[in-house]
Amino acid sequence: MKNSKKNKVSKNQVYLFDYDNKHLEEREITDISHCIPYKETPTVTWINVDSVPPITFLHELRLGFNLHPVVEEDILNINQRPKIETLDNYIFLALKMFNFDKKSCKVVSEQVSIILAKNFLITFQQGIRGDSFDSVRKMLRDNNTAIRSGKTDFLCYELIASTVLNYFNVLDDFSNYIEDLEKEMIENPGTETLNKIYHLKRQILELKKSVWPLREVINILERDSSKFIYPESKIYLRDIYENLIQVVDITETYRDILSGMLDVYLSSVSNRTNSVMKVLAIITTIFMPLSFLTGFFGMNFQYLPGTSSPWGWIIMAFIMICLFIAMILVFKNRKWI
C-alpha cells in the first residue's frame, strides 16, 4: 500500500506493541500501511488508536484488516452502550472507560472499542488525557510477566480488567466526595448542597448505565465457544464479572446514601422553616392581646375608663407587661419555647 496523506495520522495517536515471550517491539505509527503487515505475524500485535480516528484512516484500517463496515460505524459511534459482536475472523467489543475530574466533580467517560482476532488486537479511544492501560503497557515491557506468554485473549482480558479496576478508583473518589458533602450538609446546608446531591446522583446513574450491560458482555464472552477465547482464559473473565457485580453493588449503595442525604436535607430545611414559623407564631400570639388593649383604649370616644386619669397609662403599661410575662410563662410551661 502506498503512502499518502489520507492514511497518515497525527503523531502520538497510534501505538503498536508486537511481542512474544522473547522479544518486544514498541513504536509509534504515522501511517496505516505500517500496521497491516503485522496481522499475519505469529507474534501478538496490539495496535492502540488513542483518538477518534479520521474516517479516511479508519476506512484504510478496515480494508487492511478486513473489518466489517458496521464495525467501522460502531467505532465512530462513541455514545453507544457496551456491546459485543462475534464475527468469523474477530470479536468486536465496546465498553466505557471512566475517570473522575476532581475539579468539576464529574465523571469523564471515554468510549473504548476492541477488535480481538487470533494474532492481533486493535483498540480505539477518544484521545481523552489519561487512561487505564498504563498498567498493561508496563507489564508488556517486563519480560517476566504472564501477558508476554499469553495470546491475544489474555491481552484483551488485561485491558478490560484494567478498565474495570479503574472503576473502583472512580468509586473511591465518589466516596471521598460524598463524605465532604455529608459534612457540608450537616454544617451549612443550602441550595448549592442540594444541587451537588442531584449532580452526584446523575454521575452515579451514568456509571451504573455503563457497568450493568458490561456484565452481560463479559458473561457472553466467557460462555462463547469462539476460537479466539481459549479455555484457560475464561477463569480470568469470571473474575472480571465478579468485580463488575461489586461495582454495581457499590453504585447501588452510593445511590441509596445520596437518596438518604436528600431526605435528610429536605427534612432539615422543613424543620428550619417550622422553627421560623414557630417563632413568628409565638410573637404574633403574644402581641395579639397587647394590640387589642392598645386598640381598645386608643379609640376616640369621650368616656373610656381611665382615659382621664393621670395614672391610666402607667396602669395600662403594667397590665400589658404582666400579660406579656404570663403568656411567656404559659408557653414555657407547655414547652412551646
pLDDT recorded at residue 317? 81
The dihedral sign for the CA sequence 148, 153, 154, 156: positive
pLDDT recorded at residue 303? 65
- Write out the DSSP string of 173-216: HHHHHHHHHHHHHHHS--HHHHHHHHHHHHHHHHHHHHHHHHHH
- Say which residue the cell 410573637 belongs to: 283
At the topology level, CATH places domain 6-268 in: Beta Polymerase; domain 2 (3.30.460)
Cα–Cα dist 82/93, whole Å: 7
Residues of the chain with pLDDT under 70: 1-12, 53, 130, 299-309
Please state the separation of Cα 216 from the chain's center in Å: 20
Buried b (16+ CB within 10 A) or exposed e, 99-132: bbeeeebebebbbbbbbbbeebbbbbbbeeeebb
**Can you read off the three cell numbers belonging to residue 298?**
386608643
48 within 8 A of 14, measured Cβ to Cβ: yes
pLDDT recorded at residue 240? 93
Class of domain 269-333: mainly alpha
- Say which residue the cell 484521545 belongs to: 127
Q: What are phi and psi of 107, to 5 degrees?
A: -85, 125
pLDDT recorded at residue 301? 63
What are the sequence ranges of the domains in the chain? 6-268, 269-333
SS3 (DSSP) at 96? strand
Cα–Cα dist 213/5, whole Å: 39
What angle, 0 to 180 degrees and rounded to 10, lies between the N-to-C axes of helices 231-297 and 152-187? 10
pLDDT recorded at residue 91? 92
- Give this prediction's pTM: 0.76
133-176 tens-digit pLDDT = 989 999 999 888 889 988 999 999 999 999 999 999 999 988 88
- Look up residue 31 and give its DSSP letter: B
Cα–Cα dist 217/41, whole Å: 29
Cα–Cα dist 13/3, whole Å: 18
**Can you read off the three cell numbers belonging to residue 157?**
482480558
